[in-house]
Amino acid sequence: MTCVKFARASAPAKVMLFGEHFVVYGCPAILGSIDKRVSVTAKQSESAKINISSNMGFLASYSSESLEKPGPQFSEAQNTLYPIYAAVHDVLKDHFEVDGRHHGVEIDIKSDIPWGAGLGSSAASCVASVGAVKSLFLKPEKEWVYSRALGAERIIHENSSGADCNISTFGGLIYYIKDTRNKKISSKAELSLVVLITYIKHSTGSQVSFVKNFRNQNRSLFNDLASRATRVCDKAVSALRSGDVIKLGELMNENHMLLKDLGVSNDEINDLIRFCLDNGATGAKLTGAGGGGSVVALLSNENQTSFIRKMGKKGLRQSFPVRIGSYGLLIE
């Protein structure tokens, strides 16, 4: 078996433009990779340890000999990085069975994606880590990386749609339906988008559980919201293909109202969206799980600079323009 001492890979963040939460239940979503990335360096180690460090302030160590189960004995960092550990352990296990050795690995994660902002930092870290570690032994196929990263994500979120791992692996702008073949979308207009980080603490798992309970207790209402979300998503595909940015913004606003009715928005997010719309945005909505995280605003190109300046005056600590369609997984 041919091995190298170290390997690097990177994967992009994403914005969900349409279909949050409803995508878990078989409805379509539209999401795109953006020009914020996670880069991972993997180095072989003599110890039977999987050590993970991140410039986001996380540092954790695990056994490579057997898959440790999360629990109260784990630190916050160990629980946060667990999906990456589980995916990497799974990759190494393939090679334990080939040569009988318990390989160790040092993983260094460098991210320019804000953590916990609803931009897919966890999925991108997982995808890039799987790609880098597998590349210590041979260059992996993207489909293989996606399946391993998704398997790890579903350890934590059993009913995950897989959308984040998919867009981080393959990149582009896609129309996505859970567990089916997805299609790339060509937008006739270049989208001028700005992401605004709320820094409101939230938990993806808690938001997913909230929506599950909402659906169980309000089945008829949920089904109505889901049907409307599907129609919005399908109209958005047509708007993207025709380059109708005004219509696209209107549909983003409509999608946010559905998420608001679902209960995953809050007053702070709604106020921020109103501020965006009052200051030149064509459309604005939460992106990701909600409850906090980020808002994405659609603008005309000429309004982008003045819009970001106004956001700064509002006191937002971080807002930045993003470009849609960044490359997916890259093995360096």
Which residue's structure tokens are 């302030």? 57
- Residue of 99, 164, 244, 271 marked catalytic: 164
- What dihedral angle (degrees, nearest 10) is formed by the CA atoms of 213, 219, 224, 226? 40
Cα 90 to Cα 9, 50, 83, 205, 206: the distances in Å are 17, 11, 11, 23, 27
What tokens were used for 113?
A: 């994606």
| Sign of the torsion angle spanned by Cα atoms 219, 221, 227, 233 | negative
What tokens were used for 190?
A: 């270049």
Residue 301 DSSP one-character state:
G
Alpha helices (H) in the chain, listed in sequence order: 76-80, 82-99, 121-134, 142-156, 163-170, 204-217, 219-242, 245-262, 267-278, 304-313
**Do 124 and 113 meet the contact criterion of CB atoms below 8 Å apart?**
yes
Rounded to whole angstroms, the Cα distance separating 125 from 110 reads 9
Q: Please calculate the CA angle 140-31-241 and round it to the nearest 5 degrees.
A: 110
Rounded to whole angstroms, the Cα distance separating 261 from 205 reads 19
Q: Specify burial of residue 134 (Cβ count, 10 A radius: 0-12, 13-18, 19+).
A: buried
- Partners of 166 in the beta sheet? none
Q: Is 94 a catalytic residue?
A: no
**Do 186 and 239 meet the contact criterion of CB atoms below 8 Å apart?**
no
Residues in the chain, how many?
Answer: 332
Q: Which residues are catalytic?
A: 164
